[in-house]
């Protein structure tokens, strides 16, 4: 490799025997410590081992385990207790280690825009094997085989992907399984991924946790040693000592790392991987030739001759055969291509970390690599413990290597290190490392006083972090300014925050002092610029950029402190006040930069989201600092199993799945279904105190838990109900029991399809259950093909008018429209009038056919209509312009859909485009609460009648799909006016809110996120994507992924003196109500914000990826603009007298028409 292709190791995290982190690991290695320990006889007896076994001379009671294997920061990573118990400790610890590796690199583990890959391998899990055995003992082998939770929690396939999921990493997530060489092979592929540009940063490593530690019987000729120690290359070695270990390194391209000031620990100059093939004595035996080839290839890739190596971190299994073959392969590989006249020997140190910590299985390679990083970085050669004399003295004497039980140091040349890892089965992996180059990025400017920003999830963790930082900065080895830079750009910001400011030498003392609590977080940041932005333009721009553009810049100083929940930065002369920071704009550039950083820091302390890298510019280096102090708790399901070493025949089946008291698990309901489901939830979540109204999402429930609940309900009660049906993340035991009871055979009469029996049932839950089971008829055996026409069931509201226009534009066939009119002439006049009102041409009479009647009569209309040419349907799932309960709306909106589907299936019409609503969606289970672009959505309790109708409609379509119907679902949010002419419906609450705000000069402080899109853009997407073959089966969220708020839309209108001030909602309502009484203007509606409630996203992040390619092809952007909003208000004024009167003085400004 050249400098352009070299890879930097910028961070590391690990958990090895006697070491919680790399610093402890390196210290133990430097001191020659051996972490293999005698096992406690009492614990072995408690596990079921008899005195006879323990006293046997061939039973080895010695091993090395990782500290805290039974503990996990479950709450930090969003795991419920039950899920944590059922997750392999290898995967739990690897997740923590990856977080630590990124933090040690100064790279925030979450929220980074860089594409980060994960490459790793792990062992078959002894912990999960024990749980499977316990499950089989309790419920039989089938129960163990079918336990999905144990499979997902323990399969090595999910080691990397679990990290990617929990940390939000979007690069390649690759599991590597090459046995003992897995971790170093993972490093190799991480390097290739970086060099190919597939990712910008990579995590690579491995995990092996062999718990519980019970010892083993020594078998001569086997892999394990006679005494439990591992003595690589020593004449006394009798085998290896299998142990546990977890490690990961963070990697970047060297040029990128240097440019960004990353802490380069070492440089990987080359890697290679290869297999021994068949030229060996057996599948488990290595080949010196195969190993030599891989080593030679690595040196060739690195561009480094073997004579420049100063240390080799060997695989060093400790088995007699393995050590002999490896020493031969190393000698041949390192010597390949050397000058025959060169006879130098003993110039390169040789050792193996297995002498310190044992054989960590698939993690052995990462243990060796992390050890080698320290050797290359410092030039210090660690001692090789337990070494007395070589096993192959002749080979060693003629080799480049020397082995020493004493520490040493490289005194000639650079310290290049080769790492070798050999996998059982023949896959070898090697890497060549070198020392880090000098940094190229300047240090952070030194100041007389330095501010450190610290944050954590809890006050206790924050205090611990402060103490850890104090210890790290003691003595001044770490530059304080760079430490401050690292804490800004290299850490995730949590809710509990602290800023510690002191002179560099006093920072440790200041960090240990008692600190005030975190200020109440703010929702907004205002920058007040008296005299206008032009006066301090660069400063305002710098502040805005540092605050990620999420601040309001105002010039009006009348209300400097700002509204409640707002932090204010005042540029200029002002008195400090609570929630307000004064920034003096005068002075030198250096002083101004310091004061700007101080203002942003104080804003961060109050909860603002800060782009620290934008503030830092091109100065500042990341340095290694203490990582997050996780609060770990015990999660060890083996506690609830019988003694592991006792034969199954001697074990009585446990009375319960755990040792929780009967009193704690007693049901809290007299209803048998509730009581049964309460017990189920308590078991699955591992929470004894779980109540009837505890919500699924708040308990940490995810899709796997939902699947387990569904399976249990089906098994116990004979009905199929998923958590989505009971509210998704808001599901509770009480709600689920209500649904289950309604669906049981004795829970109510089934629906007939006409509604007569349904209407006799009590409650909307019964109605909904019945409607989900509506009879849709039998599908035709002869699907209709090549029918060119489209049926549009809603054509006369604003969206339907635009959809009709787009269908006529994009298709060749006719459009059959359902029109609420008594006669043909009246119906066509209605279509013409609606088109004219939207600024659209009259629909072509030759291409439009009418079905005259209301939506409730859709089934009858279709039976009378000649629909032989209809090949597709575009249907609106929500009732248009109607509000009310589900029971009130289903007759005219839901039951007609059942009739429509019955008609389609009978005649073989298979293409269905459903225009649904984002109001019929809920936040996804687990994760970040996103509103996923999935077909399946939860029925949340907050859904109103129209949204519930849409939700049930989508479920009926899923049933129709089972018989071959081709369905697309288009979900819309709040519809803006058309992009071209602003065509909108003035009766929509949005326009009434905006108009009312302009009329009274104020707008409500309404920060509910909402998804919006222009009506013509949504209609065009429906029409065009309905004909796209790739759209079948998909859900499209027709909105921008960046939500807006009613307040932000009001603020978007501001300009030219037309700004409105923010006031509390009640104050706005009173002002609008008084204005309405005074003006007697129907465009003023003080309840408009309440009518917008159904469009609120509820805080969930909206996914809207599916139509992104379509948007890009057409150059479309669904985001609202100031021009569009004014164009819509102009349109409303031109088509609605009340708006014309209200907005007369506003729509003539700014040249926006």
CA distance 181 to 431: 12
| pLDDT category of residue 616 using cuts at 50, 70 and 90 | confident
| Rounded-to-10 torsion of CA 869, 778, 726, 1031 | -40
Domain identity same for 507 and 530 = no
| pLDDT category of residue 183 using cuts at 50, 70 and 90 | very high
Cβ-based neighbour number of residue 249 at 10 Å: 32
Least confident of 12-16, 1032-1036, 1080-1084: 1080-1084
Domain identity same for 155 and 200 = yes
Give the pLDDT score at 1106: 85
Residue 466 lies in a domain: yes
Domain ranges, residue 192: 7-275+285-434
Q: How far is CA 177 from CA 99, 132, 240, 430, in A?
A: 22, 22, 20, 16
If DSSP codes are grouped into helix, strand and coil, which group holds residue 547?
coil
Least confident of 11-15, 657-661, 713-717, 1048-1052: 657-661
737-743: average pLDDT: 85
Query: Is pLDDT above 50 for 753?
Result: no
CATH of the domain at 492: 3.30.70.3290
Task: Write down the number of H helices and E strands in the chain.
Answer: 41, 36
Residue 5 or 267, more confident: 267
Q: Encode 190-248 in three state secondary structure.
A: HHHHHHCCCCCEEEEEEEECCCCCCCEECCCCCCECCCCCCCCCECCCCCECECCEEEE
What are the backbone angles phi and psi of residue 426, rounded to the nearest 5°?
A: 105, 0
CA distance 1024 to 1021: 5
Domain identity same for 161 and 197 = yes
CA distance 1083 to 1000: 13
Domain identity same for 357 and 456 = no
1064-1083: average pLDDT: 86
Model confidence pLDDT, tens digit, residues 211-223: 888 999 887 777 8
Give the pLDDT score at 657: 41
Domain identity same for 894 and 847 = yes
Domain identity same for 344 and 411 = yes
Give the pLDDT score at 332: 92
CATH of the domain at 574: 3.40.50
* Residue 794 burial (10 A CB sphere; 0-12, 13-18, 19+): buried
Residue 637 lies in a domain: no
Residue 627 or 325, more confident: 627
Asked if residue 199 lies in contact with residue 115, where contact means CB atoms within 8 angstroms, the answer is yes
Give the pLDDT score at 588: 72
78-103: average pLDDT: 95
What are the backbone angles phi and psi of residue 507, rounded to the nearest 5°?
A: -60, -45
Give the pLDDT score at 972: 95
Give percent of the chain with pLDDT exceeding 70: 91
| pLDDT category of residue 312 using cuts at 50, 70 and 90 | very high
Model confidence pLDDT, tens digit, residues 1120-1139: 998 999 899 989 988 888 88
- Reported in sequence order, the residue ranges of 489-583 that DSSP labels E, i.e. its strands, are 496-502, 524-528, 552-554, 566-571, 580-583
Least confident of 377-381, 615-619, 688-692: 615-619
Query: Is pLDDT above 50 for 756?
Result: no
Average pLDDT, the chain: 87
CATH of the domain at 849: 3.40.50.720
| pLDDT category of residue 751 using cuts at 50, 70 and 90 | very low
Asked if residue 1036 lies in contact with residue 971, where contact means CB atoms within 8 angstroms, the answer is yes
33-38: average pLDDT: 96
> Cα 329 vs. chain centroid, distance in angstroms?
44
Query: Is pLDDT above 50 for 954?
Result: yes
Residue 807 lies in a domain: yes
679-693: average pLDDT: 90
Residue 727 lies in a domain: no
Domain identity same for 498 and 604 = no
Give the pLDDT score at 150: 84
Query: Is pLDDT above 70 for 623?
Result: yes
Helices (H), 354-399: 354-357, 364-378, 393-397
Asked if residue 1040 lies in contact with residue 824, where contact means CB atoms within 8 angstroms, the answer is no
Residue 951 lies in a domain: yes
Domain identity same for 390 and 458 = no
731-748: average pLDDT: 80
CATH of the domain at 46: 3.40.47.10
- Going by the DSSP 8-state scheme, the letter that residue 607 receives in this structure is T
Residues 6+ apart with CB under 8 A from 714: 720, 721
CA distance 180 to 425: 9
Model confidence pLDDT, tens digit, residues 124-138: 989 888 888 888 888
Give the pLDDT score at 797: 94
Give the pLDDT score at 714: 75
Give percent of the chain with pLDDT exceeding 90: 54
Half-sphere exposure of 1006 (CA within 13 A, CB side): 30
From 577, 608, 639, give the residue that closes a domain.
608
Residue 935 lies in a domain: no
Asked if residue 373 lies in contact with residue 303, where contact means CB atoms within 8 angstroms, the answer is no
Residue 342 or 859, more confident: 859
Half-sphere exposure of 806 (CA within 13 A, CB side): 23
| pLDDT category of residue 401 using cuts at 50, 70 and 90 | very high
Least confident of 663-672, 708-717, 974-983, 984-993: 663-672
Domain identity same for 134 and 176 = yes
| pLDDT category of residue 758 using cuts at 50, 70 and 90 | very low
Query: Is pLDDT above 90 for 48?
Result: no
Query: Is pLDDT above 50 for 659?
Result: no
Residue 429 lies in a domain: yes
Least confident of 431-445, 466-480, 1101-1115: 1101-1115
Give the pLDDT score at 524: 75
| pLDDT category of residue 664 using cuts at 50, 70 and 90 | very low
Domain identity same for 494 and 566 = no
| pLDDT category of residue 663 using cuts at 50, 70 and 90 | very low
| pLDDT category of residue 785 using cuts at 50, 70 and 90 | confident
Query: Is pLDDT above 80 for 436?
Result: yes
Query: Is pLDDT above 80 for 549?
Result: no
| pLDDT category of residue 975 using cuts at 50, 70 and 90 | very high
Least confident of 28-37, 502-511, 678-687: 678-687
Instruction: Write down how long the chain is.
Output: 1153
Residue 115 lies in a domain: yes
Residues 6+ apart with CB under 8 A from 734: 674, 692, 693
Query: Is pLDDT above 70 for 1146?
Result: no
The residue among 551, 558, 301 whose CA lies nearest residue 430 is: 301
| pLDDT category of residue 926 using cuts at 50, 70 and 90 | low
Give the pLDDT score at 38: 95
Cβ-based neighbour number of residue 680 at 10 Å: 17
Angle between the N-to-C axes of helices 989-1000 and 1065-1079, in degrees from 0 to 180, rounded to the nearest 10: 80
| pLDDT category of residue 563 using cuts at 50, 70 and 90 | low
Domain identity same for 1035 and 1137 = yes
Give the pLDDT score at 656: 44
Model confidence pLDDT, tens digit, residues 336-388: 766 555 668 899 999 999 999 999 999 999 999 999 999 999 999 999 999 99
Asked if residue 214 lies in contact with residue 40, where contact means CB atoms within 8 angstroms, the answer is no
Helices (H), 760-894: 764-772, 798-810, 824-837, 858-864, 886-893
Domain count, the chain: 4
Domain identity same for 257 and 326 = yes
Give the pLDDT score at 560: 54
Residue 170 or 881, more confident: 170
CA distance 255 to 264: 11
| pLDDT category of residue 970 using cuts at 50, 70 and 90 | very high
Residue 517 or 1009, more confident: 1009
From 512, 536, 552, give the residue that closes a domain.
512
1028-1054: average pLDDT: 87
158-173: average pLDDT: 95
From 565, 590, 608, give the residue that closes a domain.
608
């Amino acid at each position: 490799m050249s400098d352009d292709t070299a890879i930097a190791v910028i961070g590391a995290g690990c958990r090895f025997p006697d070491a919680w982190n790399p610093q402890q690991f390196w210290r133990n290695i430097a001191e020659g410590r051996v972490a293999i320990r005698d096992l406690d006889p009492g614990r072995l007896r408690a596990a079921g081992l008899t005195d006879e076994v323990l006293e046997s001379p061939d039973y080895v009671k010695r091993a090395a385990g990782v500290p805290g294997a039974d503990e996990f920061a479950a709450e930090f990573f969003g795991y419920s207790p039950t899920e944590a118990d059922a997750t392999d400790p290898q995967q739990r610890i690897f997740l923590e280690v990856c977080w630590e590796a990124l933090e040690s690199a100064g790279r925030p583990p979450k929220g980074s825009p860089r594409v980060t890959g994960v490459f790793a391998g792990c062992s078959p899990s002894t912990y999960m094997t024990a749980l499977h055995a316990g499950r089989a003992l309790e419920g039989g082998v089938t129960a163990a085989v079918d336990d999905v939770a144990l499979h997902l929690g323990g399969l090595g396939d999910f080691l990397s992907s679990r990290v990617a999921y929990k940390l939000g990493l979007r690069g390649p997530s690759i599991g590597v399984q090459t046995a003992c060489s897995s971790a170093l092979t993972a490093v190799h592929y991480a390097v290739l991924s970086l060099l190919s540009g597939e990712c910008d940063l990579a995590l690579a490593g491995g995990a092996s946790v062999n718990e519980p530690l019970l010892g083993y019987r020594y078998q001569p000729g086997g892999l394990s040693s006679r005494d439990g120690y591992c003595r690589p290359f020593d004449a006394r070695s009798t085998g290896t000592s299998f142990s546990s270990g977890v490690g990961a390194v963070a990697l970047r391209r060297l040029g990128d790392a240097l440019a960004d000031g990353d802490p380069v620990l070492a440089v990987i100059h080359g890697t290679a991987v290869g297999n021994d093939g068949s030229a060996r004595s057996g599948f488990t035996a290595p080949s010196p030739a195969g190993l030599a080839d891989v080593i030679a290839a690595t040196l060739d890739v690195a561009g480094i001759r073997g004579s420049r190596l100063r240390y080799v971190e060997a695989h060093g299994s400790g088995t007699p055969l393995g050590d002999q073959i490896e020493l031969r392969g190393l000698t041949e590989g390192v010597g390949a291509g050397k000058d025959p006249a060169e006879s130098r020997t003993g110039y390169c140190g040789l050792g193996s970390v297995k002498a310190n910590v044992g054989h960590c299985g698939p993690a052995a390679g990462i243990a060796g690599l992390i050890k080698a990083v320290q050797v290359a970085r410092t030039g210090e050669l660690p001692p090789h413990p337990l070494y007395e004399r070589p096993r192959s003295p002749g080979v060693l004497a003629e080799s480049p290597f020397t082995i020493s039980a004493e520490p040493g140091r490289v005194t000639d040349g650079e310290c290049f290190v080769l790492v070798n890892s050999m996998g059982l089965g023949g896959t070898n992996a090697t890497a060549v490392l070198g020392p880090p180059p000098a940094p190229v990025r300047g240090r952070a400017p030194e100041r007389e006083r330095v501010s450190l920003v610290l944050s954590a999830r809890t006050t206790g963790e924050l205090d611990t972090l402060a103490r850890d930082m104090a210890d790290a900065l003691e003595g001044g080895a770490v530059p304080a300014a760079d430490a401050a830079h690292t804490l800004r750009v290299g850490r995730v910001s949590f809710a509990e925050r602290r800023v510690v400011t002191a002179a560099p030498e006093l920072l440790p003392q200041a960090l240990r002092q008692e600190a005030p609590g975190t200020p109440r977080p703010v929702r907004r940041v205002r920058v007040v610029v008296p005299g206008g932005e032009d006066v301090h333009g660069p400063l305002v721009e710098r502040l805005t950029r540092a605050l990620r553009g999420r601040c309001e810049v105002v010039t009006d100083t009348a209300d400097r402190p700002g509204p409640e929940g707002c932090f204010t930065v005042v540029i200029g002369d002002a008195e400090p006040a609570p929630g307000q920071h004064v920034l003096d704009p005068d002075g030198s550039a250096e002083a101004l930069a310091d004061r700007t950083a101080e203002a942003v820091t104080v804003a961060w302390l109050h909860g603002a989201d800060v782009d620290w890298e934008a503030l830092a510019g091109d100065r500042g280096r990341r340095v290694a600092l203490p990582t997050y102090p996780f609060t770990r708790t015990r999660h060890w399901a083996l506690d609830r199993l019988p003694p592991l070493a006792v034969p199954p025949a001697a074990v009585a089946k446990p009375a319960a799945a755990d040792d929780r008291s009967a009193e704690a698990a007693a049901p809290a309901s007299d209803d048998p279904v509730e009581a049964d489901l309460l017990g189920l939830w308590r078991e699955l979540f591992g929470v004894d105190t779980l109540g009837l109204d505890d919500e699924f999402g708040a308990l940490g429930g995810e899709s796997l838990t939902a699947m387990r609940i569904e399976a249990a309900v089906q098994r116990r009660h004979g009905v199929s109900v998923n958590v989505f049906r009971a509210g998704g993340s808001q599901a509770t035991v009480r709600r689920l029991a209500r649904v289950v009871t309604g669906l049981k055979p004795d829970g109510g009469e089934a629906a007939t399809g006409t509604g007569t029996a349904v209407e006799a049932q009590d409650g909307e839950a019964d109605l909904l259950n019945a409607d989900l089971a509506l009879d849709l008829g039998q599908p035709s055996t002869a699907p209709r093909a090549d029918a060119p026409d489209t049926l549009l069931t809603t054509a006369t509201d604003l969206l339907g008018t635009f959809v009709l226009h787009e269908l006529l534009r994009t298709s060749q066939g006719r459009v059959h429209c359902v029109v609420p009119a008594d006669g043909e002439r009246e119906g066509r006049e209605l279509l013409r009038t609606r088109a004219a009102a939207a600024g659209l041409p009259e629909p072509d009479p030759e291409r439009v056919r009418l079905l005259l009647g209301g939506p409730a009569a859709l089934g009858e209309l279709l039976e009378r209509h000649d629909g032989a040419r209809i090949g597709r349907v575009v249907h609106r799932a929500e009732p248009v312009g109607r509000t009310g309960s589900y029971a009130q709306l289903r007759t005219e909106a839901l039951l007609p859909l059942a009739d429509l589907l019955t008609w389609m299936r009978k005649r073989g019409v298979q293409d269905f485009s459903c225009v649904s609503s984002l109001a019929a969606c809920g936040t996804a289970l687990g994760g970040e609460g996103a509103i996923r672009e999935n077909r399946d959505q939860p029925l949340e309790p907050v859904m109103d009648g129209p949204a519930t109708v849409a939700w049930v409609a989508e479920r009926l379509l899923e049933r129709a799909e089972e018989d071959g119907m081709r369905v697309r679902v288009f979900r819309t949010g709040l519809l803006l006016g058309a992009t071209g002419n602003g065509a909108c419906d003035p009766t929509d609450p949005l326009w009434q809110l905006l108009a009312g705000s302009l009329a009274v000069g104020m707008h409500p402080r309404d920060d509910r996120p909402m998804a919006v899109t222009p009506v013509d853009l949504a209609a065009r997407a429906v029409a065009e994507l309905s004909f796209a073959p790739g759209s079948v089966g998909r859900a499209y969220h027709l909105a921008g992924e960046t939500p807006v708020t009613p307040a932000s839309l009001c603020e978007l209108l501001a300009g030219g003196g037309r700004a409105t001030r923010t006031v509390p909602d009640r104050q706005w309502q009173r002002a609008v109500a008084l204005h309405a009484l005074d003006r007697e203007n129907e465009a003023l509606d003080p309840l408009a914000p309440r009518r917008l409630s159904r469009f609120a996203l509820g805080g969930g992040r909206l996914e809207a990826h599916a139509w992104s390619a379509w948007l890009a092809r057409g150059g479309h952007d669904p985001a609202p603009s100031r021009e569009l909003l004014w164009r819509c208000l102009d349109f409303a004024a031109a088509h609605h007298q009340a708006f014309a009167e209200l907005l007369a003085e506003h729509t003539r400004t700014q040249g926006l028409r």
